[in-house]
C-alpha cells in the first residue's frame, strides 16, 4: 500500500467549477494506492467530484487552514517560531496518515508545512512550481515605492519560500523561466518537469485546409499581461476572419466593448469558461492559435495547442525570451497591430507554410512535452524516491 500526501493552497471547488482538472492530476501514473489531499484553506469540495484526480486510489480530503495574521506580524526573529507553532497541527495530521511521500503544488503555506513534516517525521517531499514569483508575484509585491506593509509581506513570503524549497527532496519547475528564481534562492535540487496534459482528449490536427470562414483561437485569462487588443485591431484588416476568445478576467468587458467599437463583434466570440477536456478536443478544429502574453512562461494552453499541431502566433515579450519558444515551433511577432495582422494574413494565405508550422510544432511538442513523456518523468521520480526511502528503512 503506497500512500501519498498532497498538500495544496488551492481551493479545489473553484478549479472544479472551471473544469480545469485532468484525470489523475494528483496521482500521475496511479503510482499510489491511497492519496490524501490536504488543503491549507477551509474549502470543502465534494469527494466524488475530486475522485477522478487520483484515479482508482482511495481518496481522503483534509483541511489545515493557513494563518494570514502572521503575515502582518512578520518579524525576522519571531516569524520562524510562530510558523512552527502554526505547523504543529498539520504535522500531527501527517503523522496519522503516515504517507510514503509528500507532493506540493506551489511553494506557499503548503510547502512550508511539508518542510516541517520532513524535519520532524523524515518524510520526503517534492514541490512543483508553476510560476516565477519574481516575475509574476501572487502573494508578493513588485515596484520601487512599496509601503511598509508590502515590504513586510514580501519578507514573510521570501522566508516561507526559502524554507519550503531548500529542504525539498526535489523542486519541479514546470518550465525553464522559473530556473532564475530558484537560482536566486540557492535551490540546487531541481528538475524541470513540464505539465502533464490531457493526452486522452488532445487531437492531432491532420487537415490544414483553411476553414470557411478562417477561425482563430485565443485561450487565457484576460488581464493586463494577456491583453489581446492588438489582435482584435488586426482583425479589422482581415475581413471574414473569426476569433474565439476562451477565458475570463477583468479585461473581458473592455475587450467586448472594443470588438463592438471596431465593428467586428459579429466575428468575435467570447467564451468565459470551457472545460479542459472539451477545449483539448476542439483545438484541432481551428486554423491558428493567436495570443498575447507578457508572462515569462510557456503556458499550459500554448502547450496544448502545440501538442495538437495547431499553428501558433505569439508576441515577442518585453523581457527575457522564453527558452522553450526560441525554436521555430511558433511564429513570434511584435506586439503590434501590424505584427499580428501580417503574420495572420501570411499564414492564412499560405497553406504550405501554415501546415509546416503546425507539423513542426506537433513533432517537437510530442517529443518534449507529450503526456506520456511528461508523465513518465514524474512517475520515475516518484518511484526513485520511494525506493530510496525503502532502502533507508531496510
Helix count and strand count (H, E) for the chain: 14, 12
**pLDDT score recorded for residue 137:** 86
C-alpha 156/C-alpha 150 separation (Å) is 10
C-alpha 19/C-alpha 275 separation (Å) is 4
Q: Is the pLDDT of residue 264 over 90?
A: yes
- How many CB atoms sit inside 10 A of residue 300's CB? 19
Q: Which domains does the chain have, with CATH numbers?
A: 3-197+371-393 (3.40.50.2000), 215-369 (3.40.50.2000)
**pLDDT (tens digit per residue) in 327-353:** 899 999 999 999 999 999 999 999 999
Q: Give me the count of residues in the chain.
A: 394
- Per the listing, cell 501527517 goes with 94
C-alpha 68/C-alpha 61 separation (Å) is 22
241 DSSP 8-state letter: -
Q: Is the pLDDT of residue 393 over 90?
A: no
C-alpha 255/C-alpha 261 separation (Å) is 10
Q: What are phi and psi of 165, to 5 degrees?
A: -85, -35
**pLDDT score recorded for residue 55:** 97
Q: What proportions of the chain, in percent to the nearest 5, are helix, strand and coil?
A: 45, 15, 40
C-alpha 369/C-alpha 217 separation (Å) is 21
Q: How far is CA 393 from the centre of its chain?
A: 35
**3 forms bridges with which residues in the sheet?**
34
**pLDDT (tens digit per residue) in 61-71:** 999 999 999 99
**pLDDT (tens digit per residue) in 350-367:** 999 999 999 999 999 999
The grid coordinates of residue 8 equal: 495544496
Residue 119 CB burial class (10 angstroms; 0-12, 13-18, ≥19): middle
Q: Out of 13-27, 32-46, 373-387, which region has the weakest mean confidence (pLDDT)?
A: 13-27
Q: How far is CA 99 from the centre of its chain?
A: 26
C-alpha 339/C-alpha 305 separation (Å) is 20
- How many CB atoms sit inside 10 A of residue 118's CB? 18
Percent of the chain with pLDDT over 90: 94
3 state DSSP class of 246? strand
C-alpha 216/C-alpha 341 separation (Å) is 12
Residue 77 CB burial class (10 angstroms; 0-12, 13-18, ≥19): exposed
- Mean pLDDT, rounded, of the chain: 96
Q: Is the pLDDT of residue 239 over 90?
A: yes
**pLDDT (tens digit per residue) in 140-174:** 898 889 999 999 999 999 999 999 999 999 999 99
Angle between helices 148-166 and 109-121 (to 10 degrees): 40
C-alpha 100/C-alpha 122 separation (Å) is 10
The full DSSP string for 321-381 is PPGGGSSTTSEEE-SSHHHHHHHHHHHHH-HHHHHHHHHHHHHHHHHHH-HHHHHHHHHHH
**219 forms bridges with which residues in the sheet?**
246
Amino acid at each position: 500500500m503506497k500512500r501519498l500526501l498532497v498538500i495544496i493552497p488551492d481551493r479545489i471547488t473553484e478549479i472544479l467549477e472551471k473544469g480545469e482538472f485532468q484525470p489523475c492530476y494528483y496521482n500521475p501514473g496511479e503510482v499510489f494506492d491511497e492519496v490524501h489531499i490536504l488543503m491549507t484553506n477551509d474549502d470543502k469540495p465534494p469527494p466524488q467530484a475530486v475522485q477522478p484526480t487520483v484515479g482508482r486510489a482511495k481518496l481522503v480530503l483534509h483541511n489545515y487552514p493557513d494563518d494570514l495574521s502572521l503575515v502582518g506580524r512578520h518579524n525576522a526573529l519571531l516569524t520562524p517560531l510562530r510558523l512552527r507553532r502554526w505547523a504543529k497541527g498539520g504535522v500531527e495530521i501527517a503523522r496519522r496518515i503516515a504517507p510514503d511521500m509528500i507532493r506540493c503544488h506551489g511553494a506557499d503555506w503548503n510547502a512550508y508545512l511539508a518542510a516541517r513534516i520532513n524535519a520532524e517525521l523524515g518524510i520526503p517531499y517534492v514541490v512543483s512550481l508553476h510560476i516565477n514569483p519574481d516575475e509574476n508575484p501572487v502573494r508578493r509585491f513588485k515596484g520601487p515605492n512599496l509601503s511598509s506593509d508590502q515590504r513586510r509581506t514580501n519578507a514573510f513570503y521570501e522566508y516561507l519560500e526559502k524554507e519550503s524549497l531548500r529542504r525539498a527532496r526535489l523542486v519541479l519547475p514546470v518550465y525553464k523561466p522559473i530556473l532564475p528564481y530558484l537560482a536566486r534562492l540557492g535551490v540546487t535540487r531541481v528538475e524541470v518537469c513540464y505539465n502533464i496534459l490531457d493526452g486522452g482528449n488532445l487531437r492531432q490536427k491532420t487537415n490544414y485546409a483553411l476553414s470557411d470562414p478562417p477561425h482563430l483561437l485565443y485561450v487565457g485569462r484576460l488581464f493586463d499581461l494577456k491583453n489581446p487588443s492588438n489582435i482584435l485591431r488586426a482583425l479589422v484588416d482581415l475581413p471574414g476572419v473569426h476569433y474565439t476568445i476562451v477565458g475570463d478576467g477583468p479585461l473581458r468587458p473592455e475587450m467586448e466593448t472594443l470588438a463592438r467599437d471596431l465593428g467586428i463583434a459579429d466575428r468575435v466570440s467570447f467564451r468565459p469558461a470551457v472545460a479542459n477536456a472539451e477545449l483539448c478536443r476542439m483545438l484541432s478544429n481551428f486554423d491558428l492559435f493567436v495570443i498575447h502574453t507578457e508572462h515569462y512562461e510557456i503556458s499550459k494552453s500554448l502547450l496544448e495547442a502545440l501538442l495538437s499541431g495547431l499553428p501558433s502566433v505569439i508576441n515577442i515579450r518585453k523581457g527575457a525570451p522564453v527558452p522553450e519558444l526560441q525554436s521555430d515551433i511558433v511564429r513570434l511577432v511584435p506586439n503590434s497591430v501590424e505584427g499580428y495582422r501580417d503574420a495572420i494574413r501570411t499564414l492564412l494565405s499560405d497553406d504550405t507554410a501554415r501546415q509546416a508550422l503546425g507539423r513542426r510544432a506537433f513533432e517537437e511538442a510530442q517529443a518534449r512535452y507529450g503526456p506520456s513523456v511528461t508523465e513518465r518523468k514524474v512517475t520515475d521520480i516518484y518511484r526513485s524516491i520511494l525506493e530510496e526511502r525503502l532502502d533507508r528503512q531496510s
